[in-house]
Amino acid sequence: MAEEKQTGRWGMVIDLDVCTGCNACVTACAMENNIPWVGEEDAGYGRGMHWIRVQRYWEGEYPEVSPHYQPVMCQQCGRAPCEPVCPVFATVHSEEQQINLQVYNRCIGTRYCANNCPYIARSFNWFDYSQQIPTPMNYYLNPNVTVRRRGVMEKCTFCVQRIYEGQERAKAEGRVVQDGEIVPACAQACPTDAIIFGDLSDPESRVSKAARNQRRYTLLEELGTEPKVTYLKGEGTYGG
């Protein structure tokens, strides 16, 4: 259908000038997507599994330092380097949403995709973390999202379950998806509205307009991965 085609290119803009580095997106993402916590020891060793992380960099010498925050998740590359290297087609492009999806059932855990992702956006289930959730806590799990088992790769999906839900709702009500109707968990949680999500194929959507902002850049542009996430950053401003 024509309308469905229209809602094709989901994208995101992150305004670093208003990001305060509060990590609300990280928390919201973990709750929405059933991201297990890995325990103190493994987290300390560098096995935290967040699909989105706030990279923190410092500029200047102490005490004249200014922090820079940069939320980074899977950039949903248009030409994703993670895809061709998977021997079993576990990481694939979805035709409809134009995003990169991980098929957990198919993944055999070669971890090649994670090596080839220049953004280090992928997380691996080293152990059966999801089995270690103490009993009452398992009620927090989101029924719309698969709980991953040990030995598979996972990563940000742009909250594909929410995209589906929005599309289905609009279809049931016989209309097209409105701009701003579908919001991933990170964008919803962001107190400063630094994360804008929407349809890039609609030139009038908020995200398209923001993506044309002159402060725009994409991460590691030189690699030609054509990311769907755009960052905004002005010169000489503090924060962000």
Partner 1 sequence: MAVEAKSLSTPLHGMDAEEAELREQLMFDPRPREELNRMVMESMVHTTPRYWAVVAFLAVVVLVCLFGAWGYMIATGIGLAGVRKPVYWGVFIVTFVFWIGISHAGTFVSAILRVFKAEFRRPFTRAAELMTTFGLAAGALYPLIHLGRVWVFYWMIPYPNARWLWPNFRSPLVWDFLAITTYLLSSTIYLYLPLIPDLAMARDRTQGWRHAIYKTLALGWRGTEAEWARLRKAITIFAFAIIPVMFSVHTIVSWDFAVSQTAVWNSTIFGPYFIVGAILSGVSAVVTILVILRATLKNMDYFIRMEHLDALGKLLLVFSMAWAYFFFNDYLVSWYGGYEAVRRVLFFHSSGPDSWIWWSMIIFNVLIPWLTLWNRRIRRTPWAMLIITLLINVGMYFERYTIVPMTLAHQRFPFDWGNYVPRIEIIISIGTLALFILLYMLASRLIPMVPVWEVREGQEAHMIRQIGKAKVPTVSELE
Please report how close the Cβ of residue 134 comes to ligand SF4 at its closest, in angstroms.
31
**Cβ(32)–Cβ(146) under 8 Å?**
no
Task: Count residues near partner 1 (CB under 8 A).
Answer: 42
Whether omega for the bond prior to residue 63 falls within 30 degrees of 0, making it cis, is yes
Nearer to ligand SF4, 192 or 218 (CB): 218
Kindly list the residues in this chain that would bind ligand SF4 in the complex (CB under 6 A): 74-77, 80-82, 100, 117, 119, 121-122, 155, 225
Which of residues 6, 55, 213, 237 is near partner 1 by CB under 8 A?
Answer: 55
Choose the one of ligand SF4, partner 1, none that binds residue 67, judging by a C-beta under 5 to 8 angstroms depending on kind: none
Which among 129, 79, 124 is positioned nearest to 104, based on CA atoms? 124
Nearer to partner 1, 44 or 203 (CB): 44
Choose the one of partner 1, ligand SF4, none that binds residue 82, judging by a C-beta under 5 to 8 angstroms depending on kind: ligand SF4
Output phi, psi for 197, to 5 deg.
-125, 145
Please report how close the Cβ of residue 161 comes to partner 1 at its closest, in angstroms.
24
Q: How far apart are CA 79 and CA 59, in angstroms?
A: 32
Choose the one of partner 1, ligand SF4, none that binds residue 150, judging by a C-beta under 5 to 8 angstroms depending on kind: partner 1
C-alpha separations of 168 from 3, 101, 177, 205 in Å: 12, 19, 9, 20
Please report how close the Cβ of residue 113 comes to ligand SF4 at its closest, in angstroms.
7
At 155, list the tokens.
């990563």
Nearer to ligand SF4, 14 or 82 (CB): 82
C-alpha separations of 196 from 99, 125, 181, 186, 227 in Å: 16, 29, 12, 10, 15
Instruction: For residue 111, count other CB atoms closer than 10 A to its CB.
Output: 14
Please report, as ranges, the residues that interact with partner 1 according to CB under 8 A: 42, 45-48, 53, 55-57, 72, 81, 84-89, 106-112, 114-116, 118-120, 123-128, 150-153, 220, 223
